[in-house]
Amino acid sequence: MHLYWYIGVIFTSTTTTTTTTTTTTTTTTTTTTTTTTTTTTTTTTTTTTTSLLLLLLLLLLLLLLLLLLLLLLLLLLLLLLLLLLLLLLLLLLLLLLLLLLLLLLLLLLLLLLLLLLLLQLLLLLQQRQQLLLLLLLLLLLLLLLLQLLLLLQQRQQLLLLLLLLLLLLLLLLLLLLLLLLLQLLLLLLLLLLLLLLLLLLLLLLLLLLLQLLLLLLLLLLLLQLLLLLLLLLLLLLLLLLLLLLLLLLLLLLLLLLLLLLFLLLLLLLLLLLLLLLLLLLLLLLLLLLLLLLLLLLLLLLLLLLLLLLLLLLLLLLLLLLLLVLLLLLLLLLQLLLLLQQRQQLLLLLLLLLLLLLLLLLLLLLLLLLQLLLLLLLLLLLLLLLLLLLLLLLLLLLQLLLLLLLLLLLLQLLLLLLLLLLLLLLLLLLLLLLLLLLLLLLLLLLLLLFFFFYYYYYYYYYYYYYYYYYYYYFYYYYYYYYYYYYYYYYYYYFYYYYYYYYYYFYFYFYY
């Protein structure tokens, strides 16, 4: 008899523990699903907002980079102008050298007028030697050209080899990248398979949980409804707890949003600082442009000075031409004297000299005319360059003004962003205080809930589970219905009335 009693107690205790464990597992699964959904929604909203703001900031940075490129192009143009001016300076220097050479030639011509006969013989000898020298020089040049061609061919072969090596390296890199991509694809497929298996397991677990819930519902329907008041109180407490939890979740969402805004504003501050740095770089570039323009002006002044020197040299040439004319006059006078003396050979020689001098004078006049034309063209070019420089200076001044305005606007934006950050910090502090208060309320409600729960299970009198005295249901000791122990009605052991075993009276078994 006692053995039957122990078996019944153990069986009923195990059933109650299994039901409690299943209820706790279902509650934990539901809470985890709700938290995951809330986190996913918050992450999606934050990612969209951040992506839009970052796109706008990237567009601004692209615009600034375009401005920098334009300024760099202007710098390149100015450098090209500087190169052109330097080339002009070189040309002018070459012209000066030519003029000096012409002066030397004129002096040599004056000497040649005195020593013509001896010079002719010397010229013949020199011409032959020059021919030989020219031939030697041509041969050397041909040899150098051949060597250069050979070197060029060798360099081209080296370049071809280098290009082939580079192509092979690129092909190897491409093959490696393809292998890596295939490995990544295989890993992704494995991950997808694992995710599918996890989903199947989750579905099976959900089905099991649903079955357990159905069983629990059946058990709850079998139970009696005697503790409504305490249950209502517990439900009210649970509702309050849920409301507080919802408030906490909302506050947490607000905190997350404010933190995201705070981070976005920090990003904006950083980007604005970058913009300021870019603007400062633009200012530096503009200052460099101004310096280059000043250098151009100095070069133009140097060009003007060189032109003046050229004019002076031209004047010297004219003076030399006058000297040559005087010499011609002297020769004419000698001719007249010779005519009077009737010396024919000397007359012929003097006539030849006169013809040569006339030719030289014509050549010199042509050269002087060309030089004058070149000087006029150079003056025109200098005037055009001065105009261009003035225009560039005006443009640079306008750009400087615009950059100053942009700097002022950016400073204002930075101040506004700092104010917004301070406001957000204050809001965050307030929300943290609210969260602390709500947590305290939750703790109080949980204490009340556990107090009633404890009262609900344990402390005595009346209804439901364990422990002593009076009325209804389950286990132990005396009086009235249901299970074990003594007297009256139903079930097991000992006497009187119905059902199973043992003695006396009525019905059934034995």
Residue 138 has pLDDT above 70, yes or no: no
Q: What sign results for the dihedral spanned by CA atoms 345, 346, 348, 353?
A: positive
Neighbours of 99 (CB within 10 A): 20
Q: Which of 260 and 119 is assigned the larger pLDDT? A: 260
Among the residue ranges 95-104, 235-244, 387-396, 446-455, the one predicted with the least confidence is: 95-104
Q: Please count the residues of the chain.
A: 510
Helix (H/G/I), strand (E/B), else coil: 228: helix
Q: Which residue do the tokens 């005595």 mark?
A: 460
Neighbours of 500 (CB within 10 A): 13
| Predicted model pTM | 0.34
Q: Tens digits of per-residue pLDDT, 33-64? A: 444 445 444 444 554 555 455 555 555 655 66
Q: Which residue do the tokens 């034995």 mark?
A: 510
| One-letter-per-residue 3-state SS of 198-225 | HHHHHHHHHHHHHHHHHHHHHHHHHCCC
Residue 440 has pLDDT above 80, yes or no: yes
Q: What percent of the chain shows pLDDT beyond 90?
A: 0
Distances (CA, A) of 22 to 138, 204, 212, 457: 108, 15, 7, 18
**What are the tokens at 372?**
């004058």
So what's the pLDDT on residue 75? 62
Contact 271/57 with Cβ under 8 angstroms?
Answer: yes
Identity of the residue numbered 2: H
Q: Tens digits of per-residue pLDDT, 310-335? A: 777 777 777 777 777 777 777 777 76
So what's the pLDDT on residue 265? 74
So what's the pLDDT on residue 142? 56
Q: Which of 74 and 389 is assigned the larger pLDDT? A: 389
**What are the tokens at 363?**
């050549």
Q: Tens digits of per-residue pLDDT, 149-200? A: 555 565 556 555 555 555 555 556 556 656 766 776 777 677 777 767 777 7
Q: Tens digits of per-residue pLDDT, 14-37? A: 444 444 443 443 444 344 444 444
So what's the pLDDT on residue 447? 79
Which residues have CB under 8 Å from 452's CB, separation 6+? 230, 233, 234, 237
So what's the pLDDT on residue 419? 79
Helix (H/G/I), strand (E/B), else coil: 470: coil
Contact 468/476 with Cβ under 8 angstroms?
Answer: yes
Q: Tens digits of per-residue pLDDT, 419-428? A: 777 787 788 7
Contact 220/22 with Cβ under 8 angstroms?
Answer: no
Please state, in angstroms and rounded to a whole number, the distance separating the CA atoms of residues 285 and 74: 10
Residue 9 has pLDDT above 50, yes or no: no
Q: What is the mean pLDDT of the chain?
A: 63
Contact 353/254 with Cβ under 8 angstroms?
Answer: no
How far separated are the first and last CA of the chain, in Å rounded?
15
Q: Tens digits of per-residue pLDDT, 211-254? A: 766 765 665 565 555 555 556 666 666 777 777 777 777 777 77
Contact 474/483 with Cβ under 8 angstroms?
Answer: yes
Contact 493/484 with Cβ under 8 angstroms?
Answer: yes
